[in-house]
């Protein structure tokens, strides 16, 4: 019987929630069992990384990650070729970025279309990891469609990094399920209502991500400021 969609598992959550660690752990598990796979990542990543020919190095700790071939879109993955080689499992890192075109506009209906084609070609399992919502707080389309079409979505949580009494004091530390963008110069978060789902040109030099709990996601107006897309510094 032909699969309608592959068996999809998504590790989703804010920055620092261990999504990538879980994804690589699953890679290691399959490698130990002798199950072949291929791993891919988008050409544009939201993190500070140094791109390598196959894979990338996290600049923070210079730890080499498993092989991840960089592709510009999910349609660029040679599925038929992989299946002919006996590969029926795909890994996708920072996969939510695949849900946007080159102008960073969301692509409607992408999940159902791509997963349907992959299932028809013979792909059986897909494992993916990435943020589950944009800077505005809206859920990314790929994550919403994964839930809609029966994927197993594993919610990963981090610890709230909001400084409770200033930058030098201990962080909040409560369970964090959201990401927040703030200006490192004054530590003020950008008003979510003024943020797009995906920043047009990525993070600017003084913009930073941090994981936050619900209390520190919904800050009083005096602790936030509007996001100005025209400001580049």
pLDDT digits (tens, 9 = 90+) for 142-182: 888 998 999 999 988 889 988 887 666 788 889 988 888 88
CATH of 7-156, one of 3.40.50.300, 3.40.50.620, 3.40.630.30, 3.30.300.250: 3.40.50.300
The per-residue b/e assignment along 183-218, b for 16 or more CB within 10 angstroms, e otherwise, is beeeeebbebeebebbbeeeeeeeebbbbbbeebbe
Q: What residue segments make up the domains of the chain, in order of their start? A: 7-156, 159-225
Residue pLDDT, tens place only, 42-94: 876 544 433 333 333 333 333 434 568 888 889 999 999 999 999 999 999 98
Q: Confidence class of residue 121 from pLDDT cuts 50, 70 and 90?
A: very high
Question: What mean pLDDT is predicted for residues 15-28?
Answer: 88
Which are the contacts of 97, defined by CB distance < 8 A and separation ≥ 6? 42, 44, 45, 46, 130
Cβ atoms within 10 Å of 142's Cβ, excluding its own: 26
pTM attached to this predicted model:
0.81
On the CB side of 127, CA atoms within 13 Å amount to 19
* Phi and psi at residue 229, to the nearest 5°: -65, -15
């Amino acid at each position: 019987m032909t699969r309608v969609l592959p068996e999809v598992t998504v590790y989703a959550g804010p920055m620092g929630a261990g999504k990538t660690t879980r994804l690589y752990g699953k890679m290691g598990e399959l490698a130990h069992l002798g199950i072949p796979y291929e791993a891919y990542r988008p050409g544009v990543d939201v993190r500070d990384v140094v791109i390598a020919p196959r894979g990338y190095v996290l600049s923070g700790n210079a730890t080499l990650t498993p092989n991840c071939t960089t592709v510009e879109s999910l349609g660029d993955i040679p599925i038929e070729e992989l299946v002919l080689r006996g590969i029926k499992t795909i890994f996708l890192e920072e996969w939510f970025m695949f849900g946007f075109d080159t102008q960073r506009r969301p692509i409607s209906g992408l999940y159902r279309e791509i997963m349907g084609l992959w299932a028809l070609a013979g792909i059986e399992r897909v494992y993916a990891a990435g943020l589950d919502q944009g800077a505005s707080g809206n859920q990314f389309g790929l994550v919403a469609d994964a839930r809609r079409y029966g994927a197993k979505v594993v919610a990963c949580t981090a610890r709230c990094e909001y400084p409770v009494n200033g930058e030098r004091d201990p962080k909040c530390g409560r369970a964090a399920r959201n990401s927040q963008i703030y200006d490192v110069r004054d530590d003020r978060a950008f008003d979510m209502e003024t943020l797009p789902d995906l920043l047009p040109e990525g993070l600017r030099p003084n913009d930073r991500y941090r994981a936050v709990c619900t209390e520190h996601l919904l800050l009083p107006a005096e602790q936030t400021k509007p996001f100005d897309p025209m400001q580049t510094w």
